Amino acid sequence: MEVTTNRKSDKERAFLQDLFIAPDWGERFAELIDEHVKVPNEGKALYVAAGTGGHAMALQERAGSKLELLCVDENPECLELARAKATATNEQTTFDTAQLDSLNLGDNQFDLVIGNASLVSRQRVRKMFSEMVRVAAPSATIAFALPTASSFGEFFSIYWEALHNNGLIDHESDVEQLITELPTVSDVEQLAEDEGLTDVESWTRIEEFDFESGEQFLSAPLIAEFLMHEWLALVPDDKKSRLFSEISRLINEERHEAEFAFSVKATLIVGQKAHSH
Domain boundaries, the chain: 8-148+183-208+264-277, 150-182+213-258
Predicted local confidence at residue 228, as pLDDT: 93
H/E segment holding residue 48? strand 43-48
Radius of gyration of the chain (CA): 19
**46 - beta bridge partners?**
70, 113
Q: 199: Cβ–Cβ under 8 A, 6 or more apart, which residues?
A: 271, 272
Cβ atoms within 10 Å of 88's Cβ, excluding its own:
8
Cα 152 to Cα 50, 68, 182, 244, distances in angstroms: 23, 36, 10, 17
Residue ranges in the chain assigned as alpha helix (H): 10-16, 27-36, 54-63, 76-89, 122-135, 153-165, 172-180, 185-194, 214-219, 221, 228-231, 237-255
**What contacts 198, CB < 8 A, 6 or more positions away?**
271, 272, 274
Q: How many CB atoms lie within 10 A of CB 110?
A: 25
- pLDDT at residue 277, rounded to an integer: 46
pTM above 0.85, yes or no: yes
Identity (one letter) of the amino acid at 25? Answer: W
Contact 247, 214 (CB under 8 A): yes
How far apart, in whole angstroms, are the C-alpha atoms of residue 222 and residue 89? 27
What CATH number was assigned to the domain covering residues 8-148+183-208+264-277?
Answer: 3.40.50.150
Taking alpha carbons only, the member of 128, 22, 39, 27 closest to residue 78 is: 22
Q: What is the DSSP string of 85-127?
A: HHHHHT---EEEE-BTTB--S-SS-EEEEEEE-TTS-HHHHHH
CA distance 62 to 41: 8
Each residue's pLDDT, cut to its tens digit, for the chain (277 residues) gives: 545 556 789 999 999 999 999 999 999 999 999 999 999 999 999 999 999 999 999 999 999 989 999 999 999 999 999 999 998 877 789 999 999 999 999 999 999 999 999 999 989 999 999 999 999 999 999 999 999 999 999 999 999 999 999 998 888 888 999 999 999 999 999 999 999 999 999 999 999 999 999 999 999 999 999 999 889 988 999 999 999 999 999 999 988 788 999 999 999 999 999 865 4
